[in-house]
Every structure is written in C-alpha cells, then in structure tokens.
Amino acid sequence: MTQNRTHTCGELRAADAGKTVKLSGWMENIREVGAELAFVVLRDFYGTTQIIAETPEMVSQFKAINKESTISVEGTVRERASKNPKLPTGDVEVVPAKVEVLGRCRHNELPFQVNRSREADEAQRLKYRYLDLRNPEVKNNIVLRCQVVSAIRKAMTDHGFLEITTPILTASSPEGARDYLVPARNHPGKFYALPQAPQQFKQLLMTSGFDRYFQIAPCFRDEDARADRSPGEFYQLDMEMAFATQEDVFAVIEDVLPPIFAQYGKYDRASGAPFLRIPYTEAMETYGTDKPDLRIDLTVQDATSVLAGCGFGPFEGNVVKAVVVSGFHETRKFIDKTLADVEVVSGGKPYWFRLDENGEIVGGIAKFVQPIKDQVVSALGLKPNDFVALSAGKLGAAQKTAGVLVKTLGAAVPGHMDREQYAFCWIVDFPMYEIGEESGELEFCHNPFSMPSGGLEVLLKAERGEIDPLSITADQYDLVCNGVELSSGAVRNHDPEIMVKAFEMVRLGEEDVKAKFPAMYNAFTYGAPPHAGIAPGIDRMVMLLAGEDSIREIIPFPMNKNAQDPMMSAPSEVTQKQLDELHIALVKPEA
C-alpha cells in the first residue's frame, strides 16, 4: 500500500498465513505472559491485529514503548492457536521481526483508556478529542456522517440539484437568533455577520434564474446548547426549488431521505412516501407537541368537559388534558418518579388516577373522580388497568405538559413504543401570526418569509377585520422524525406587495422591509419566480441514524455546553494590537 505498510490492521485473514507483512498503527495494549511472551494489540483506522512477541528481546522492546505510540511492525502472518471469532482479524496474528517507533507517546498515563473513552468525563473527552476519536465507537459515528453526507450529495445531484456555496461573511439580519459578528478592519465601526442560515442567498439564487439549489451549509447561531442542538455552528441540507409548491418539496424529501435512513440507520425500517401529514393544531391537540414521536401509540384527549367541574382546584376554570395508558402495572414509586420528571421538563404539574383490575378508581386524585366515575370512564373509554395522567392550565400549558406525558410514559411503559424504526411526518398549516408573550401584540409565529395561505386576499380580509389574523395559516411545514424536528421549510413569499402587507400586520412598513432585507426586496421587484425549500439538519439526522442521545457524539470537534472548545481554548483573548487594528475597545462587565 505505502512505504509504511503492506496491509491495514483490519485486512489480514487466514489465507494470508505465511506472508511477510508490514503493519502500522497505534499500540493499543500489551499483555505480558512472562518474560518471553507478550500479546500486543495494534490498531489503525481499519481495525486491530494481534502481534505476538515470543523472545525476551522482542518483549522488552514492546515494553519500552508507551501505549498509543505509533509504530510499524514487520513480520510473518500465522494462524492463531486460539482464534477470536469476534474480530475480523481474529484468525491470525503477526510474529514480528522488526519494530520501529514512528511517533512516540511521551505520556506514561493517558487521560482515559482510549477504547473506553465514552465512559470518561465529557470535559476530558473534549479536551483530548484527538484521543477520543481514536476509539472505534466514536470514530464510526464520524465515518457514518461522511457516508450520509456523500449519499445525500449523490441523491440531490441525481434529482437535478446544483451544489452552490453561499457567503460565510454577510450582513446581520433579524432571523430569530443572535448573530456571530465579525469586525470589518477596513470599515471601522461596521461588522460582518456569520449567516444563521443561507436563507436569503438561496432565495436570491431562485430570483437569479437557478432552478434547483442545494448545499451542505454551515450555519452559525449564538445560542445555548441542547441535546439535539450544538452551540455555535451546525450543518444543514439546504435546498430550494424554483416554480415549486409544497408538494414538490415533499416529493423530493420523501424520495431522498427514506433510503438513506434505511441503509445507514441503526434501525432498518423507515417511513415510506407519502409521510403522514398533520396540521399544527391537530398535532397540538392529539400529541401535545408539534414534534410528535409516532413510534409511541399514546395520544392526548380533552377531558375539560368531564373533569373541570369535579371539585379539584387546579382543574377549575382551566383546560384539562388526559393521557390514557393501557395495560399499566407499574409501582407507585415509578409513578411518582415519572411524573416528577415530567414536571421538571414541562414546568407544569401532572396529576393521575387509575382504574384497577376490578374497575375501581384508585390513587392520585381518585376521590375527586370517584363521584363522576361513570362519566369519566365513558368519556375517556377506560378499561381495567388503565392509568390516566392529567394536565391542566391554559391551553398551551396544558398541551405542553400532556405532550411531555405522552413522550415520557410512552418510552417508559412497556408495549407503547415501537423503537426500532424511523417514523417521519410533516407538520403543516402553521399559524402565520401569534400574540407575543412579552409584547402582547401580533407577531410572526415562525418564518416571516413564508407565503400566507390565501396570499394577499387573506391579509386584506384580516386588515378589514373580516377575519381574525390569528386564523391565518402559512404555507410552512416541519419535517419530524422520532420526535425530533429535522427541518422547517416553506413556500416563500416572493411578491413584494404581499411581503409588505404581511409585515404591516406586525406594525412594520415598506421602508422597514427595505431596510431589513434590501437585497431580497429589490430582487423581488425584478420578477421573482414562486419558490419553496427546506433545510433538514445534518447533525440531527446523523444523531438519529447513529442512535445517539447527544448531538456532540456525531460532530468531529464539538463545543461544550458553554460554547467553548477546551481542546483549542476557544474562545480566547486576543492581543491589544489586534483590537487596535479592528478599532475595538473592550468594556469588561462589572464584577
């Protein structure tokens, strides 16, 4: 293969017995059996091979080498007397004639055992990420990521899309999250911004006459970390189509993603086309969330009419939601812990009762339910051994808690979750507007660039007071898989007149639109085609495929939860000279 090796450490088989070979890799382990025998594990990117030292000189030579040093071994392949069927190379070993140290590890003690690095503290793993990545389990996630990105590129190209890169240095724009700002040295007092997404550029490409665009796009947002969101930067399959509708976008995604999930996923089942479509309001009513996990068979029922007047204080004057779990045989300890976890996640207190094997109401708030037992059993369709979890409050709060109940109980109670599949759905018909929690006034609910369903006519009706602005829906959609939002997308508002009217609804006029989005507004005045797009998150997609719970497990060099890179010591201080060149003076926060 190369001057440093004839074979990889994952390549040799019984048929290679008798060959003289040269292997190179990291010395993972040495196990001594007396002064004249030692077994060495040599590891490279492709696998491991056992090296057997059978002379005092060779044993001594290996003992002098620290673990994780890179070495080359020349020797003869022979069949092992004691084979290891768990390894691809488990039928053979190499008897070395020559050993050379290529890169010495100068540390007698490692921060963690490489092949058990996932058990180490995350701070240590991130600080020594180059060691963590030597662990085949960790490395395989990065390999999977490469394979998935390659498959996506091929699929998109096969569908007639062009891969076009868009700028990394651009202008700041109000897109929902904090920008990362870059000072412009030659323009004192002015800043570039790293793009939160290529949203405006891809729409400008459609206006420029390109028909189908995509890229594996880096996006930058100064936001806090979550299990499914990396702080700082992330990547998405960004795509846009000219002269396209929602149906066109759905057709492409439903053709591209299922084969990739079926081929590369931990589970070999994935939803086929067409994916289930669920209107936003129905999703909130049925699942308590706009990110439903369709692997779970539990749903939310409205119990307001039957339980709001039962005399239980938290229910009075509130919306009451119920989640019925059949075949429930869990302990009181399980119930208390599970509902406490739900309260932490949702911020709302859940309540409960159950129907025992004799059909009696017991536990939790049973004394309030017992007087209206027949009505409750009938309204909720209860059977013996049913457990009923309840939430109460204003509509949004009750739905949120009920949604967390569905997710938590569905995953925890046996028989209610078909885990080994990828269940896709589209959430459609999102509200165009909402009442802002802080402002108390009408605001955009999601993407202000989405086309309102009904176009200009529906906006004019709302302006005249003929309809409630909150009833306006947008041609916007989310792609959800196993309870994870993979993407948002929309049919774009490509008409300047409709765009201005949409912004006027939230008290912003034409001059505001021109000031905030000058390039897009001006481009649209030159005749823009109808266009639509979407941008599934690569990181979240690979996280699902790998069956990981944290997005940091599938990113080569992730930041920690505080948006710091302990390996590179980023962010870091810079010199005064650098600050002076950029015309920046630091104002440190008060202690």
What is the structure's pLDDT at 391? Answer: 97
The predicted-structure confidence for 391-405, as pLDDT tens digits, reads as follows 999 999 999 999 999
- How confident is the model over 226-240, as a mean pLDDT? 87
What is the structure's pLDDT at 12? Answer: 97
Residue from 522, 482, 534, 23 nearest 248 by CA: 534
Residue from 375, 350, 374, 378 nearest 364 by CA: 350
CATH number for the domain harbouring residue 72:
2.40.50.140
Q: Which helix (H) or strand (E) holds 116?
A: none
Q: Which residues pair with 125 in a beta bridge?
A: none
What is the structure's pLDDT at 228? Answer: 72
Whether residue 165 sits in one domain with residue 87: no
Out of 103-107, 228-232, 344-348, 379-383, pick the least confident.
Answer: 228-232
Confidence of residue 428 (pLDDT cuts 50, 70, 90): very high
Whether residue 142 sits in one domain with residue 259: yes
Domain-embedded: residue 491 = no
Q: Which range of residues forms the domain containing residue 56? A: 14-103
Evaluate if residue 175 carries a pLDDT over 70: no
Whether residue 371 sits in one domain with residue 300: yes
Domain-embedded: residue 283 = no
User: Residue 536 — φ and ψ, nearest 5°?
Assistant: -60, 140
Confidence of residue 106 (pLDDT cuts 50, 70, 90): very high
Q: What percent of the chain has pLDDT over 90?
A: 90
Evaluate if residue 591 carries a pLDDT over 80: no
The predicted-structure confidence for 244-263, as pLDDT tens digits, reads as follows 999 999 999 999 999 999 99
Q: What percent of the chain has pLDDT over 70?
A: 99
Which tops the pLDDT comparison, 178 or 278?
278
Whether residue 250 sits in one domain with residue 141: yes
Whether residue 67 sits in one domain with residue 158: no
Residue from 345, 298, 215, 293 nearest 486 by CA: 293
Supply the DSSP string of 214-263, one letter for each residue. Answer: EEEEEEEE----BTTB-SEEEEEEEEEEET--HHHHHHHHHHHHHHHHHH
Question: Total domain count for the chain?
Answer: 3
Evaluate if residue 334 carries a pLDDT over 90: yes
The predicted-structure confidence for 498-534, as pLDDT tens digits, reads as follows 999 999 999 988 998 888 888 999 999 999 999 999 9
Class of residue 230 by CB neighbours under 10 A (exposed 0-12, middle 13-18, buried 19+): buried
**Tokens coding 297:** 């068979």
Q: Please, where are the H alpha helices in 388-482? A: 395-412, 455-463
Whether residue 255 sits in one domain with residue 154: yes
Under 8 Å between Cβ of 363 and 390: no
What is the structure's pLDDT at 230? Answer: 80
Where among 379, 395, 412 does a domain terminate? 412
- How confident is the model over 218-232, as a mean pLDDT? 83
Q: Which residues pair with 191 in a beta bridge?
A: 183
What is the structure's pLDDT at 224? Answer: 80
The predicted-structure confidence for 68-94, as pLDDT tens digits, reads as follows 999 999 999 999 999 999 999 999 999
Q: Which long-range contacts (CB under 8 A, 24 or more apart) does 149-158 make?
A: 149/216, 149/538, 151/260, 151/263, 151/264, 152/216, 152/237, 152/256, 152/260, 152/538, 153/216, 155/255, 155/256, 155/259, 155/260, 156/214, 156/237, 156/239, 156/256
**Which positions ≥6 away from 203 have C-beta within 8 Å?**
240, 449, 492, 494, 520, 523, 528, 531, 533
Domain-embedded: residue 280 = no
Q: Please, where are the H alpha helices in 348-454? A: 366-369, 373-380, 395-412
Under 8 Å between Cβ of 489 and 237: no
Domain-embedded: residue 171 = yes
Whether residue 150 sits in one domain with residue 63: no
**Which positions ≥6 away from 197 have C-beta within 8 Å?**
175, 217, 219, 236, 238, 535
Mean pLDDT, all residues of the chain:
94
Where among 412, 443, 461 does a domain terminate? 412
Whether residue 261 sits in one domain with residue 301: no
**Tokens coding 355:** 């129907």
Domain-embedded: residue 49 = yes
Our separate counts of H helices and E strands in the chain read 18, 22
Where among 363, 393, 412 does a domain terminate? 412
Under 8 Å between Cβ of 198 and 234: no
**Which positions ≥6 away from 587 have C-beta within 8 Å?**
none
CATH number for the domain harbouring residue 354:
3.30.1360.30
Whether residue 260 sits in one domain with residue 300: no
Whether residue 173 sits in one domain with residue 91: no
In angstroms, the CA 433 to CA 436 distance is: 9
Residue from 236, 258, 210, 129 nearest 488 by CA: 236
Domain-embedded: residue 272 = no
Domain-embedded: residue 44 = yes
What is the structure's pLDDT at 448? Answer: 84
In angstroms, the CA 124 to CA 132 distance is: 9
Whether residue 148 sits in one domain with residue 61: no
What is the structure's pLDDT at 589? Answer: 84
In angstroms, the CA 23 to CA 8 distance is: 6
Domain-embedded: residue 466 = no
- How confident is the model over 164-187, as a mean pLDDT? 89
In angstroms, the CA 233 to CA 230 distance is: 7
What is the structure's pLDDT at 226? Answer: 73
CATH number for the domain harbouring residue 218:
3.30.930.10
What is the structure's pLDDT at 1? Answer: 57
Q: In the Cβ-directed half-sphere of 496, how many Cα atoms lie within 13 Å? A: 18
In angstroms, the CA 475 to CA 453 distance is: 6
Whether residue 143 sits in one domain with residue 184: yes
Question: Which amino acid type is present at position 53?
Answer: A
What is the structure's pLDDT at 437? Answer: 81
Dihedral sign from CA coordinates of 387, 547, 430, 229 = positive
Q: Which residues pair with 483 in a beta bridge?
A: none
